[in-house]
A and B are shown apart, each in its own frame.
Chain A
């Protein structure tokens, strides 16, 4: 009988699909062509500036031309050591980031829910937080027996603050009414935490993870330049000291690509964790 209560409202309730006009999506063939031409023009100007050793604000005398970079890139791909450079950096970021995630998310959830925890944990954190990760490098080298550990620690430091702060933000901004609703449905402390607080804070946590991943790469490269043996940051710096200038740019490009890929991975996993956001947006 109540099924007959289904009415016009239900049929009309599906929101109309928004016309998709992604700002940076590949829209039409024409736009793709325009973009390729723009890219080629950029490379051509660079090539010209390097070839003529232009000195206008920027000194292009020692900047390798795109063609030289391309050659170096081919060499990099074929070189047996390259894989090891990349693997080392990725491992450091992965361990540092993973440890930061495992520490920051539970801590953030606790701090967000408890005033006492906030006072106990946040006070020392607030003192340490403004110190840039790079400033930690000398101390980190002293604090750990191996350079490897100090580099991982630097990565960890880079990721932990953005993840922690976003988690706290997510918990504190949770709609109180959802907690009330859970209580009237019979939920006590732990189920509320698991079923309401955590998923409620998740969008904010994922944002923190994306930011944390970025700072993680930023710091691993810097740390490797100072105390590495392998790693893409080390490779870039070594190319400078050994005067293999085209390799500097190859290193820079690889760093950029690794950063981009890892951010995309975090975003992808975030979407998998939050199907309710994907389906509604």
Chain B
């Protein structure tokens, strides 16, 4: 599968103008290989979600270049499916109608749609719930509908923005297993944003660690854990080692937060200091 590469070069993302401007990502470069599951790990507020918004086409770049399969991302579209942190299902549509939405927009005939939706609902274990409205489902089930709604369009790229952070720990494990399963079956590129170290390492083929805001790429490493991965991986030596190094990287970032410092430095000072430390790290 050669489809689904994402290439970001010197990308800067920001919100607002003038003195109120907030830079989310700065001079950020990253290449996501076709068909890989890349975890993006970083402290909260580091611009991970902005990265998703930019690739999805919601947030224009301030500078730099973005290519999806060699073409500029442009307007949002179903080739770059997004699974949001909240399920964001249409409350007025049944489970089936929610999942069918993308297919209907493409003008597929109804029998074809029905078959495709049946299949995907079966895969996410919600076949019997097709006539339910979202409000009648639990959070985990809603998120599975959100996943199905994207998968049914067979996107080249699936962008996932902390999709399992709002569900309980047990459901999360189940959702992660489900994701690995559909990913290995469909082979699309997945960009998985999370702040959960275990999750990043467990799921990812590679893990990209971001610095705190403005986000830059701090580290990028391979996860050589064998696939198919099951929950057993979570207690293996290899996993622990990777988790350890991830934790150190993330800790460096969170320790740099201004409020963790004793001296009442202004926000800007704290930022500059942290940036210096970071660039020293990068140079080393």
Contacts and interface: CB of A to CB of B under 8 A. Distances in A.
B135 A276 contact: yes
B107 to A, nearest CB: 11
Given A177-B88, A184-B82, A191-B105, A2 B124 contact: yes
B186 to A, nearest CB: 13
Contact size class for A?
A: 35 or more
A13 interface: yes
Contacts of A280: 133, 135-136
Of listed B80, B174, B182, residue having the most chain A CB within 10 A: B174
Given A3-B127, A199-B92, A184 B138 contact: no
A16 interface: no
Of listed A2, A180, A196, A275, residue having the most chain B CB within 10 A: A2
Of listed A12, A175, A178, A184, residue having the most chain B CB within 10 A: A184
Nearest to A6: B125
A186 B152 CA distance: 12
Given A185-B153, A191-B105, A5 B82 contact: no
B181 A2 contact: yes
Contacts of A4: 125
Interface in A191-225: 191, 195-196, 199-200, 202
Contact size class for B?
A: 35 or more
Interface in B102-146: 102, 105-106, 122-125, 127, 133-138, 140-141
Given A5-B174, A184-B80, A186-B153, A178 B136 contact: no
Contacts of A186: 77-78, 102, 105-106, 153
6 contacts: A181-B89, A182-B90, A183-B76, A185-B81, A186-B77, A275-B133
B101 A182 contact: yes
Contacts of A276: 91-93, 133-135
B254 interface: no
B181 A1 contact: yes
B122 A2 contact: yes
B145 to A, nearest CB: 11
Nearest to B168: A9
A4 B177 CA distance: 12
A276 B150 CA distance: 22
Contacts of B125: 2-6, 10
A200 B89 CA distance: 12
Given A5-B177, A185-B101, A275-B133, 12 more contacts: A10-B141, A13-B137, A180-B88, A181-B82, A181-B90, A183-B58, A184-B77, A185-B102, A191-B105, A195-B101, A280-B133, A280-B135
Contact of A177 (B76, B84, B93, B123): B84
B88 A181 contact: yes
B122 A3 contact: yes
B124 A13 contact: no
A148 B183 CA distance: 68
A259 to B, nearest CB: 29
B230 interface: no
A14 interface: yes
Interface in B134-166: 134-138, 140-141, 149-150, 153
